[in-house]
């Protein structure tokens, strides 16, 4: 759904070649992912452009939301979930670790307190992730990781896994990622970063796990889509907004 860093691409006030590029794959809204399985739509994160992404992909239903963490670029589209309450006529479960759920309660306080009749707001059910679970009938394995010093979650469903905003994956979580077909992994730029993996660090994870296919996401304006892909090894490429693929 979205593949950009917290600033998105183009970056406000930037005249670099990627920000001025005419290649649509260099236009990156903030990160999110949609998994469609067994007739269910599971959304990972609700970035500020979620409404734009949902219109672009003609997304008619959301059955659940899985939050990786609660930074602004991953949660600030949450209010637009209320349209799916209207369509489905029910509340929508939102999953995350304890830290993320507490930030959601604070940031979107109006959602969880009594307000005047007629004020549209999302109807959400916050569910703490404590281990493997079923989400809308789909088996999901949470993957604990670290975003600097902040605990975050990736998610695995079958032979697919999604981990963004991550600087370190503990050994126990690496074992949970063995045998993947498709890995989506945050790799922000070539240069080192305190709270994100670089391209080089991402490639080390790929070398260890050896998934069939890897897409890097959460990409800055320092990476041109075509030039970066040309230098990546076989089976690894940058993701782009609107990318779709099938995996069993």
The rounded distance, in Å, linking the Cα atoms of 44 and 54 is 13
* Residue ranges of domains in the chain: 24-130+138-238
Per-10-residue mean pLDDT, the chain, length 248:
97 98 98 96 98 97 98 98 95 97 96 81 96 96 97 97 97 97 97 96 97 98 98 98 94
The rounded distance, in Å, linking the Cα atoms of 189 and 221 is 8
Instruction: Specify the pLDDT at position 161.
Output: 98
Measured over the CA atoms of residue 82, residue 83, residue 85 and residue 91, the dihedral's sign is negative
- Into which CATH architecture does domain 24-130+138-238 fall? 4-Layer Sandwich (3.60)
Instruction: Specify the pLDDT at position 98.
Output: 97
Q: Which residues lie closer than 8 Å to 36 by C-beta, 6 or more apart?
A: 42
pTM recorded for the entire structure: 0.95
Q: How far apart are the first and last CA of the chain?
A: 20
Tokens of 200: 């080089």
The rounded distance, in Å, linking the Cα atoms of 205 and 180 is 12
Instruction: Specify the pLDDT at position 110.
Output: 93
């Amino acid at each position: 759904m979205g593949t950009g860093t917290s600033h998105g691409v183009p970056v406000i006030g930037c005249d670099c070649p990627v920000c001025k590029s005419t290649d649509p794959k260099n236009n990156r809204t903030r990160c999110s992912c949609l998994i469609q399985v067994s007739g269910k739509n599971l959304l990972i994160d609700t970035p500020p452009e979620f409404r734009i992404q949902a219109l672009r992909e003609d997304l008619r239903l959301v059955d659940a939301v899985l939050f990786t963490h609660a930074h602004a670029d991953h949660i600030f589209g949450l209010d637009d979930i209320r349209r799916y309450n209207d369509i489905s006529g029910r509340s929508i479960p939102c999953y995350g670790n304890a830290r993320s759920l507490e930030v959601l309660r604070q940031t979107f306080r109006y959602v969880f307190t009594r307000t005047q009749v007629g004020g549209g707001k999302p109807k959400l059910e916050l569910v703490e992730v404590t281990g493997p679970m079923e989400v809308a009938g789909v088996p999901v394995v949470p993957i604990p990781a670290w975003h600097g010093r902040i605990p975050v979650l990736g998610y695995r469903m079958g032979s697919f896994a999604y981990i963004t905003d991550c600087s370190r994956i503990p050994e126990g979580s690496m074992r949970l990622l063995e045998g993947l077909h498709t890995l989506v992994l945050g790799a922000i730029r070539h240069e080192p970063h305190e709270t994100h993996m670089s391209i080089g660090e991402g490639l080390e994870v790929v070398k260890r796990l050896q998934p069939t296919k890897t897409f890097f996401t959460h990409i800055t304006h320092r990476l041109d889509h075509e030039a970066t892909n040309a230098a990546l090894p076989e089976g690894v490429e940058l993701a782009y907004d609107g990318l779709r693929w099938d995996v069993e």
